[in-house]
Amino acid sequence: MTGCGRLCSAIVYCSLVKPFYIFNTLSRNVEQFRPGHPPTVTYYSCGPTVYLPQHLGNMRAYVFVDTLKRALRFNGFQVHHVMNITDVGHMTSDADGGEDKIEKTARAEHKTPQEVADFYIAQFKRDCARLNIELPQPPMLCRATDHIGDMIDLIKRILDRGLAYVTPSGVYFDVEKWRGPSQLGRLSRQSLAEQDAGQRLEHSPDKKSPHDFALWVLNQPNHLMQWDSPWGRGYPGWHIECSAMSMKYLGPTLDIHSGGLDHIPVHHENEIAQSEAATGRPFVRYFVHNAFLVGMEGVKISKSAGKFPVLDDLTDEGLNPLAFRLLCFGAKYRSELAFSLEAVRAAQRNLDYLLEFVRNLGGEAVDTVDDSGWVSAYAERFHEAINNDLNTPQALACTLEMVAESYRRRDFRVWNTLRRFDTLLGLNLEQFLQQTREAIFPAEILRLRDEREQARRARDFDRADQLRRELEARGYQIRDSKTGSVLMPKRVAP
């Protein structure tokens, strides 16, 4: 876009939307969100390490990512979203120690690392689809192994700026040189001494400091995945992957970077260091972190804890996956959320309540151009909740209250507003409505509807009118809208 075009878009955008506020981990404050080039937003979210199924704690994080993206769009932003898939380099210690997680599973299952990654990527995509999580399309959904060259180029830039060094065991980032006298981390606000107390640090003999982290690992002959580099054959460190892929597709400064709270002290701290060391520019404007899903005993649900719940466990109990999505809205993203089957069943009851309401909407309520006047107050409340640091509990409560008020008033002209709410909630209400309507129509009637729609697209309006009359002769009505033709069932005489 030209400078003039970008300015005009920004002026139109600013005149249409309300301020959107989000908690920025960098400042420890809820701030008004101001992207670098509105209405465009560049957004990078940490994705899965694909060595085991993604448990429900992981999926809560991806529901949050999806909801934040939907909230930005709700406010008129155009979101350019990138998510990584880690299929090499993530060690079992989450730092530089231990075994590569993918390779550990590959050895245990007698498979190649690629077979392991492919299997769990497919499972991740399937679970996201069932939760109505919209993933970026490749190449914006980035596999680390597809971007080794980008990582090598980024490491070269860091070396050229004197903030990394090469040893026989690898290329390391010089953390103490980067941080300077204060030694404080930008996100964690911990000194290196405090970081020592909070985590186990692996120390290779040829590293200058135990705090230095690997950009490229060398001389590991048993590692199954290796590539040639200017420093020797090896593989990338975990942290460099995210910096290389995010900046490749979104530029040197990102508007938003999200991830779990556990990423703050190490992974995201290291991303900032290596990215800014390479570019000399700020890496991220807003870091946004989600809290954990915990068991009823308050313990974080994680793979390291052993058995962990996955989405299939819910479907095996006869629960709709979207009930888990609805459960996630019951707590703010920065608060822990307690998981239990009973909690999901309670969310299922709310989901069923909304679906039943949609199922019973008559044609006039659905096809009206304007909702009833009283609905606007709920629309205002919903928008305020979303823009107040993504307050999904209030937004969900507002939705349920609007439906209850519709029943109380016996006034069901709320569909346009409810459909707009669902662009954020992501419960597929419009798809459910369409499926409900189609279920009550004979196949021959649906064939005539589809044939008429094809005639309209071909601008054969005479044929379209003829098919309309045929449908009306059989007792059905059809109305044309911006989104397509809406078929109405036979009217039942009072």
Tell me the pLDDT of the chain averaged across its residues. 90
DSSP string for residues in 130-165: HTT--PPPTTSEEEGGG-HHHHHHHHHHHHHTTSEE
Q: What percent of the chain has pLDDT over 70?
A: 89
Q: Tell me the per-residue pLDDT of 457-469, one tens digit each, with 9 for 90 and over.
A: 899 999 999 999 9
pLDDT at position 486: 64
Q: What are the structure tokens assigned to 358, written together?
A: 């949609």
Instruction: Taking residues 139-152, report their average pLDDT.
Output: 97
Would you say residue 37 has pLDDT above 90?
yes
The whole-angstrom distance between residue 382's C-alpha and the CA centroid of its chain comes to 21
User: How far is it, in rounded angstroms, from Cα 177 to Cα 236?
Assistant: 21
pLDDT greater at residue 5 or residue 450: 450
Instruction: Taking residues 281-299, report their average pLDDT.
Output: 92
End-to-end Cα spacing for the chain: 58
pLDDT greater at residue 380 or residue 486: 380
Annotated domain spans of the chain: 17-290, 311-436, 442-488
Q: What percent of the chain has pLDDT over 90?
A: 74
User: How far is it, in rounded angstroms, from Cα 220 to Cα 225?
Assistant: 10
CATH architecture of 311-436: Orthogonal Bundle (1.10)
Q: What are the structure tokens assigned to 409, written together?
A: 């008033």
Q: Tell me the per-residue pLDDT of 297-312, one tens digit each, with 9 for 90 and over.
A: 778 888 766 678 999 9
Instruction: Taking residues 324-345, report their average pLDDT.
Output: 97
Are 67 and 22 in contact by the 8 Å Cβ rule? The answer is: no
Integer CA distances (angstroms), 479 to 188, 385, 453, 485, in order? 57, 34, 11, 6
Q: Tell me the per-residue pLDDT of 188-236, one tens digit each, with 9 for 90 and over.
A: 888 887 765 444 455 578 999 988 999 999 999 999 999 999 999 999 9
Are 219 and 198 in contact by the 8 Å Cβ rule? The answer is: no
Would you say residue 440 has pLDDT above 80?
no
Closest CA to 69 of 133, 1, 143, 18: 133
- What is the maximal distance between C-alpha atoms in the chain? 87
pLDDT at position 363: 73
Same fold, 17-290 and 311-436: no
Q: Tell me the per-residue pLDDT of 79-100, one tens digit each, with 9 for 90 and over.
A: 999 999 999 978 766 656 678 9
pTM score of the predicted model: 0.86
Which amino acid would we find at residue 112? Answer: T
pLDDT at position 443: 85
| Topology (CATH) of 17-290 | Rossmann fold (3.40.50)
pLDDT greater at residue 110 or residue 98: 110
Closest CA to 365 of 408, 412, 406: 412
Q: Residue 64: CB partners within 8 Å, gap ≥ 6? A: 258, 290, 328, 333
β pairing state of 234-236 and 213-218: antiparallel
Confidence of residue 1 (pLDDT cuts 50, 70, 90): low
pLDDT at position 299: 80
Q: Please list, residue by residue across 16-43, b when 16 or more beta carbons sit within 10 angstroms of its beta carbon and e when fewer do.
A: ebeebbbbbbbeeeebebebeebbbbbb
pLDDT at position 12: 43
Would you say residue 141 has pLDDT above 80?
yes
Q: Tell me the per-residue pLDDT of 172-182, one tens digit each, with 9 for 90 and over.
A: 999 999 998 87
* Listed range (16-25, 261-270, 482-491) with the worst mean pLDDT: 482-491
pLDDT at position 492: 36
How many CB atoms are located within 10 Å of the residue 485 CB? 15
User: How far is it, in rounded angstroms, from Cα 321 to Cα 54?
Assistant: 14
